[in-house]
Structure 1
């Protein structure tokens, strides 16, 4: 669901627009330390299976064989492991086809990956989705990494979202939030339970207080109204020569805050059930469907085909629609 306008100018003429196409909005760790990350030069493992024929397709001189290892990928991978260890049998194995688990465009300058694990029957988990996209552009590359975990109508607790867009080696846009599923002004008890008592604002402040951080204001009013008032929505810009500083922030403060927000979500949201009458449940389902449908409309159907061949983008969008429970209009 992010649309960082500063990234649009970087795209080659063949891909005139790009709006977060990879992201569809687009065991508790011991101790209190930061998430332990692999060495930044370690090779990124595939989400599942062997490289598909799409990945093996020939490409031009600017082709990328796979998305490079980056600190934000390690953060998301560690969060996914944290969630899977806690949720365990409440998550079904991934059933994403190989040609969607990893995919590339015909020119070979853009690669993506998608992994979706649905919730087991009787679980409050609807699905957990991990996605990434790496696109080479004339002045560098754009990299998007995200994880979201959506709940079903057994509870009205918030969804979990982390989305990271890196448009240069020294800057990154971050959105970390517990996506509310109710109107917070109309439901002050919901606001207090999930955002005030949980001290989510303190987590946001840990990022906001960094000198390299500036507020990020999405150009999409839908995105801005869909997020909570405690959302981390920032641009981290470390300036010329600040690659090392950015890596330290991503591995340090950002990883720590994301871990703590996810831990709260696992403790207080993932296991919750909510007693609702039919009217309340119907309204919750309707609201969820609007958020999902709008995110697909904004992020995917309008933009993914600009970066990938029609057959590739169609397969990816189809799998995300399936996960979201949204039929094509």
Structure 2
């Protein structure tokens, strides 16, 4: 989930504040699921018609919405037995400011005890800014200290019908210089860089270089960080790019994460597991205390901000 501070989004969903840095500086087989059929783990609340749900994705295009639902459904279909239901209170699963110029939905499903899955999170945010509407959708999955495998991160930041920023990465949890076998296993042998290279060949695509040094050092060397501008070709061309290119890359990277990271046990010693826990906690704490602590009150007011941040702290265990 992403939030806005001084008209500059801050990422809640990822453990790294990608959205903040991005906008402040400014065909394999797939599961076909319609936007009207959300996954069962994110049920509609028929007692509150006004409360929007995660899989509504109400302010984005059809291709964008279907992509997000497909990602969530793929993970739930594969890892459902390892996940617990979302237990966030209703006023954290959906919240808005008094003027409804900022709305957000958040879902967190923790992993079962002894599972390699720590939690999965999905979110969307809609914010009406002086420059126009900003829509950000995010989905990420985190692993426990029982494995050192990378986490999964996907985020689409749409500033207009013809302009977006894509973040797609398997975020490393170890130093790739000190652990060349980790680089080989998760990034070289899987040929992750091919997805970035394919997308960057599109004439509408430019590489995005974050202004945040923290983000640059936290990303993998195969991270996809691009700007897409459909320009005079319009929103129809953007829909084609999302459906035919971005969705394909996202599903390929997610498939690698599911097959090579989320469902494969690795030999992790007790001391190494402790180091992983410390590293993971530092990343999550930075998001909540530094990023969200300043952006939430400005966007939603102190009461809502405190409520959501406390729920985040509990989910993140920080």
TM range, normalised to the smaller chain?
A: 0.7 to 0.9
Moved over 6 A (4+): 42-46, 51-54
Cα deviations across residues 212-239 of structure 1 (Å, max 9, x unaligned)?
A: 1111112211111111000001111111
Match of 2:172 in 1: 180
Residues 191, 298 of structure 1: alpha-carbon distance in 2 compared, 3 angstrom cutoff: same
Match of 2:191 in 1: 199
Q: Report the Cα offset of residue 191 of structure 1.
A: 0.2
Say if 2:124 is the partner of 1:132.
yes
Say if 2:300 is the partner of 1:308.
yes
Residues 121, 283 of structure 1: alpha-carbon distance in 2 compared, 3 angstrom cutoff: same
Cα separation, 2, equivalents of 1:196 and 1:66: 34
Cα separation, 2, equivalents of 1:52 and 1:96: 17
Cα separation, 2, equivalents of 1:37 and 1:139: 33
Aligned residues: 302
Match of 2:207 in 1: 215
Q: Report the Cα offset of residue 129 of structure 1.
A: 0.3
2:224 equivalent among 216, 232, 235 = 232
Partner secondary structure for residue 158 of structure 2:
strand
Report the TM-score when normalising by structure 1: 0.84
Residues 200, 131 of structure 1: alpha-carbon distance in 2 compared, 3 angstrom cutoff: same
Cα separation, 1, equivalents of 2:257 and 2:131: 38
Residues 171, 52 of structure 1: alpha-carbon distance in 2 compared, 3 angstrom cutoff: farther
Match of 1:103 in 2: 95
| Contact 2:2–2:125 (8 Å) recurs in 1 | no
Cα deviations across residues 182-209 of structure 1 (Å, max 9, x unaligned)?
A: 0001100000000000000011112111
Say if 2:88 is the partner of 1:92.
no
Gaps of 5+ in 2: 18-26
Cα deviations across residues 110-160 of structure 1 (Å, max 9, x unaligned)?
A: 110000000011211000000110012234200110011000011000000
Partner secondary structure for residue 20 of structure 1:
strand
Report the TM-score when normalising by structure 2: 0.87
Q: Report the Cα offset of residue 22 of structure 1.
A: 4.6
Cα separation, 2, equivalents of 1:140 and 1:243: 16
Match of 2:21 in 1: none
Q: Report the Cα offset of residue 299 of structure 1.
A: 3.3
Residues 289, 112 of structure 1: alpha-carbon distance in 2 compared, 3 angstrom cutoff: same
Within 5 Å, which residues of 2 pair with 1:245-324?
Answer: 245-324=237-316
Say if 2:59 is the partner of 1:68.
yes
1:120 equivalent among 112, 119, 122 = 112
Partner secondary structure for residue 262 of structure 2:
coil
Cα separation, 1, equivalents of 2:307 and 2:104: 12
Gaps of 5+ in 1: 9-14, 57-64
Match of 2:161 in 1: 169
Partner secondary structure for residue 303 of structure 1:
helix
Residues 53, 108 of structure 1: alpha-carbon distance in 2 compared, 3 angstrom cutoff: farther
Cα separation, 1, equivalents of 2:191 and 2:298: 41
Cα separation, 1, equivalents of 2:12 and 2:43: 17
Cα deviations across residues 55-80 of structure 1 (Å, max 9, x unaligned)?
A: 57xxxxxxxx9832433332122101
Say if 2:45 is the partner of 1:50.
yes
| Contact 2:38–2:69 (8 Å) recurs in 1 | no
Residues 54, 217 of structure 1: alpha-carbon distance in 2 compared, 3 angstrom cutoff: farther
* Root-mean-square deviation over aligned CA pairs: 2.7
Q: Report the Cα offset of residue 274 of structure 1.
A: 2.2
Cα deviations across residues 23-54 of structure 1 (Å, max 9, x unaligned)?
A: 3434xxxx933553637xx6989944427879
| Contact 1:52–1:102 (8 Å) recurs in 2 | no
